[in-house]
Amino acid sequence: MAVRPKSPDFIIFFTVLALLGLGVVMVYSSSAVSAYVNYHDSYYFLKRQLIWASLGFLAMIFTMNIDYHLWKSLAKPTLIITLILLVLVLIPGLGKVVNGARRWLGFGSLYLQPSEIAKLSMALFCAESMARNQEKITSFFKGLVPQLLTLLVVFGLILKEPDLGTALAIGGTVFIMLFSAGARISHLASLGFTGCIAIITAIVMEPYRLRRLLAFSDPWADPLNTGYHIIQSLYAIGSGGLFGVGLGRSREKFLYLPEPHTDFIFAILGEELGLIGTVTVVLLFFLFAWRGYRIAISAPDIYGSMLATGLTTMIILQALMNIAVVTASMPVTGIPLPFISFGGSALIFTLAGVGILLNISRHVNFK
């Protein structure tokens, strides 16, 4: 007699749906003005977000019903495809350049962002590698090097686009996965120090990154240029107060705050829904993190534990980075707020990752 599959973790499922629904509302609210000005259609971004959200939801349902052990055999092929796409996006004529960054592949109105696939494929690859080399994880060369070499290649290709924010999110996720797998603290400390040196070097070598760092330290020193994003973001959040100015009544979205429906959507949310709205979003992400890491701790095998850790960390780390940027707690990096920011590739592959996490939860016996 066949064993009936367990139900997925409905707390995660409905938490994600809540964030996704809020995201659709906020994308429309934050983008209506710029959409009308640039495309003569206030619903331009809303219609696309609804399509991406629907496709992402279907991807989540699909991966939720596939045994997560299947991804073990697909980890390396998926990574190879990702590396090929990351190389192709850097080739002039193939990769599309937007705002000086070459991050998209595609044609017409259909575009794919390979770095978003890289987030998922790195979690799959590292989980498989760490599970296979569990007994060697305390050895630097036998346990850590396979992940580090792969990370170095992926990190370098994404940094070349350039996209330091995504590269840092992937690097941070792999670091947490190594810690969870039992790597030596001394090895991780050395890696952390080396990583900090590499990040500082990457910032110093690119003038625009250095300007962003200086703007972070004192945005009002150059309020109309490098400090403009941060100042307008703080104006938006500060204007919201406790209850906000009201849904749809943001003033910053009237072409004051750049990227109000993508990287800085949390600022518009704070302006319209106030502290109540922002705290609600933060609590939803905390709820997601609690359930995700609980699944990782209770997973029936090392592979499931590592994969759940990677998928949960990738989403939470991006949320922390985005909120930190919007609140001027770290320098500006172009990274979206998961489930809420406008985007196609990011939303679809993030929800596909959530589906894998939900499938792992179907094999867990919570105590």
> What is the per-residue pLDDT across 281-299, written as a single tens digit (0 to 9) for each?
999 999 999 999 999 999 9
Percentage, residues of the chain above pLDDT 90 = 68
Question: Could you give the CA distance from residue 289 to residue 312 in angstroms, rounded to a whole number?
Answer: 6
Question: Could you give the CA distance from residue 297 to residue 88 in angstroms, rounded to a whole number?
Answer: 38
233 lies in some domain: yes
Instruction: Check residue 107 and give its pLDDT.
Output: 66
45 lies in some domain: yes
Give the count of beta carbons closer than 10 Å to the beta carbon of residue 65: 13
Indicate if the pLDDT at residue 252 is higher than 90: yes
**Residue 49, domain extent:** 10-361
Instruction: Check residue 22 and give its pLDDT.
Output: 97
Indicate if the pLDDT at residue 198 is higher than 60: yes
215 lies in some domain: yes
Q: Give the gyration radius of the chain's Cα atoms.
A: 20
* Mean pLDDT of the region 68-86: 94
Q: How far is CA 220 from CA 182, 234, 237, 241, 325, in A?
A: 44, 12, 17, 22, 16
CB 23 within 8 A of CB 339: yes
160 lies in some domain: yes
2 lies in some domain: no
Read off the DSSP letter of residue 40.
S
Instruction: Check residue 162 and give its pLDDT.
Output: 83
Query: Could you tell me which residue, 109 or 217, shows the higher pLDDT?
Result: 217
Q: How far is CA 342 from CA 99, 250, 264, 294, in A?
A: 17, 17, 10, 29
pTM reported for the whole predicted model? 0.93
CB 124 within 8 A of CB 307: yes
- Counting the structural domains of the chain, the total is 1
Q: Minimal CA–CA distance to 235: which of 264, 277, 261, 211? A: 264
- What DSSP letter does each residue of 238-302 carry, written as one string? HHHTTT-S-TT--STTTTTSSSTTTTTHHHHHHHHHHHHHHHHHHHHHHHHHHHHHHHHHH-SSH
Output the six-digit token pair for 207.
């003038």
Instruction: Check residue 1 and give its pLDDT.
Output: 36
Read off the DSSP letter of residue 219.
G
Output the six-digit token pair for 18.
């809540």
Instruction: Check residue 366 and give its pLDDT.
Output: 67
Indicate if the pLDDT at residue 13 is higher than 90: yes
CB 117 within 8 A of CB 85: yes
Instruction: Check residue 123 and give its pLDDT.
Output: 96
Question: Could you give the CA distance from residue 271 to residue 287 in angstroms, rounded to a whole number?
Answer: 23
Instruction: Check residue 5 and give its pLDDT.
Output: 65
Percentage, residues of the chain above pLDDT 70 = 97
4 lies in some domain: no
* Mean pLDDT of the region 182-208: 84
> What distance, in Å, lies between the first and last C-alpha atoms of the chain?
26
> What is the per-residue pLDDT across 328-359, written as a single tens digit (0 to 9) for each?
888 888 789 999 999 888 999 999 999 999 99
Cis peptide leading into residue 260 (ω within 30°): no
- What DSSP letter does each residue of 90-115 carry, written as one string? TSBTTEEEETTEEEEEEETTEEE-HH
Instruction: Check residue 80 and give its pLDDT.
Output: 95
Find the range with the poorest average confidence among 2-6, 30-34, 90-94, 152-156: 2-6
Summary mean pLDDT of the chain: 90
188 lies in some domain: yes
Question: Could you give the CA distance from residue 235 to residue 217 in angstroms, rounded to a whole number?
Answer: 17
> What is the per-residue pLDDT across 85-130, written as a single tens digit (0 to 9) for each?
999 999 887 888 777 778 888 766 677 889 999 999 999 999 999 9
Instruction: Check residue 2 and give its pLDDT.
Output: 42
3-state secondary structure 297-366: HHCCCHHHHHHHHHHHHHHHHHHHHHHHHHCCCCCCCCCCCCCCCCCCHHHHHHHHHHHHHHHHHCCCCC
169 lies in some domain: yes
Instruction: Check residue 137 and give its pLDDT.
Output: 87
Query: Which pairing describes strands 101-107 and 110-112: parallel, antiparallel, or unpaired?
Result: antiparallel
Instruction: Check residue 212 and give its pLDDT.
Output: 77
